[in-house]
Structure 1
């Protein structure tokens, strides 16, 4: 059993070590791909602002789809929340998620507390978070299938064997495993090393039981709508990346960009650094340069995309959090017990 001193030592140095590991990973992944600063600035400042504006609009639609999906889930559980309230929670929880090492877990707890303020019971708020996570995996799986169908339409000879379906199914399972593994890693591990396998198995079974109970409370139609909202959320985020690549004139096709984006989502689900700093950026730049882009244009496209989809959401989320704190009365709500 580890000593108390070693546990305290690890608790103090865990975040710095993770950040250093992410920086080392970024340096290794970008070795030989670092752009000339002048070329990067030329590509960044010379971006087509109409494409950048379109990227901003697509990111707003992505956030709106996420917020509307949350409203739909709570309505299914019998809780009425306003659109402005839900969008504020979405912006605030996104800012929390991308600013902390285990932001996804903290943001889910933050959102649950806000919805309890809105009139939901703690049980319904917790169930909605579980359903939302499952619907997110389903929406991403739809995107995998859509990209796979696009690839097959361009090269029908791939239909001669089962390989495409195996690849798509494998990616879906790998992404789902990354999501579940990432969420479980956010929870406090067992104190004893001998207890860790059993504790991990108990957490997996408990998560599966909670997901089953939450999902059983929804009808098939409500599940379909939730998954479709999340598919829009993922698709518009992908198209935001496509727009930023067009803004700097990257010669990369949309199917290739979709493949890069979907590959990065597997890495993105594991909470190594706040907002995936270093990990997502490295993976995107490496993927774009491997697809034929220059280092300068690839870096410029990724910086613009990350500004729109990540860094600018921090101040927006802060404003939304202030709005939520100043709300004196919660929106009118109607709750119903989970069957």
Structure 2
């Protein structure tokens, strides 16, 4: 049997051709941009906490951001576990329960809001300029408007004294493992007026988030360029957004298989070469997901284990 008759031989040859054509000069740049992305993510966490009146150094914020990132990526539907980790870590740094929880909620709104705004602008510009991808523009604008509406409603509710009084009544009766856990939350509620403050306080976290997302997209674009998987920029951006959306669903640890298929499928739909795209997506996921998790493990492993056990008990 000749090599061409071996099942999968053609695919292996195609993968070999892609790997042989990889531009190794881009690897140092990819790693540098990925490092910058991790640092700016830390600034997103730090700036959001500071916007709520907290204080935390960069080194401590780095532990918080890497731990939350690892949990979010490793556990199916890990967003909740990441938020629990953020709250527990911020309380160690002097935040009352309300301030810590508000910071965790705002982190989700700010990061996904800035991604949605960027995606909306890019897809809308492409739709107007080329007349194509209108459906992506409409969908991304709709998601962004939903996030903005969630923030407006949350801000109005948090500013309501009546709502805080009703919440305080509920917290006063709340127990966890036989212990009353409401007093700390009650004290926090009484100390806070509007929990979210003026929207201007979120400008700095939003700016850092925009930089962070831009660097993340740049990592994906550089990896695809290195393997020769050419796709229009709007395709890269939509694929990136789809990957982040799928990663938030409770599917598999790290979204293995699900996120990869969603990202690759979107890029191929925009005209990228299937084989080069598959290689590029696997390489991107190794660099953007697994590399930060492995690097962070020595510093955040104990906190991640505690949070994972807490989530199992809560379930």
Structure 2 Cα separation of the partners of residues 145 and 71 of structure 1 = 26
**Secondary structure of 1:86's aligned partner:** helix
Match of 2:174 in 1: none
Q: 1:118 aligns with which of 93, 96, 106?
A: 93
Match of 1:191 in 2: none
Structure 2 Cα separation of the partners of residues 70 and 146 of structure 1 = 24
Structure 2 Cα separation of the partners of residues 287 and 174 of structure 1 = 23
Structure 2's unaligned 5+ residue stretches are 1-7, 150-188, 305-315
| Cα offset, 1:304, TM superposition | 1.1
Structure 1 contact 116–122 (Cα < 8 Å) conserved: yes
What is the TM-score of this pair, normalised by structure 2? 0.70
| Cα offset, 1:289, TM superposition | 2.5
**96 and 45 in structure 1: CA distance in 2 versus 1, 3 angstrom threshold:** farther
Match of 2:43 in 1: 68
Structure 1 Cα separation of the partners of residues 123 and 208 of structure 2 = 20
Q: 2:142 aligns with which of 165, 170, 178?
A: 170
1:6-45 equivalent positions in 2, closer than 5 A: 36-44=11-19
Match of 1:107 in 2: 82
Correspondence 1:94 to 2:69? yes
Structure 1 Cα separation of the partners of residues 63 and 98 of structure 2 = 22
| Cα offset, 1:175, TM superposition | 7.8
**34 and 93 in structure 1: CA distance in 2 versus 1, 3 angstrom threshold:** farther
Match of 1:206 in 2: none
Correspondence 1:321 to 2:310? no
1:213-224 equivalent positions in 2, closer than 5 A: 216-224=195-203
Structure 1 Cα separation of the partners of residues 201 and 246 of structure 2 = 29
Correspondence 1:143 to 2:118? yes
Q: 1:245 aligns with which of 201, 212, 224?
A: 224
Structure 1 contact 47–248 (Cα < 8 Å) conserved: yes
Structure 1 Cα separation of the partners of residues 193 and 34 of structure 2 = 29
Q: 1:292 aligns with which of 253, 271, 284?
A: 271
| Cα offset, 1:35, TM superposition | 7.8
Structure 1 Cα separation of the partners of residues 9 and 146 of structure 2 = 30
The two structures, once aligned, show a CA RMSD in angstroms of 3.2
Match of 1:194 in 2: none
Structure 1 contact 256–291 (Cα < 8 Å) conserved: yes
What is the TM-score of this pair, normalised by structure 1? 0.66
| Cα offset, 1:273, TM superposition | 1.7
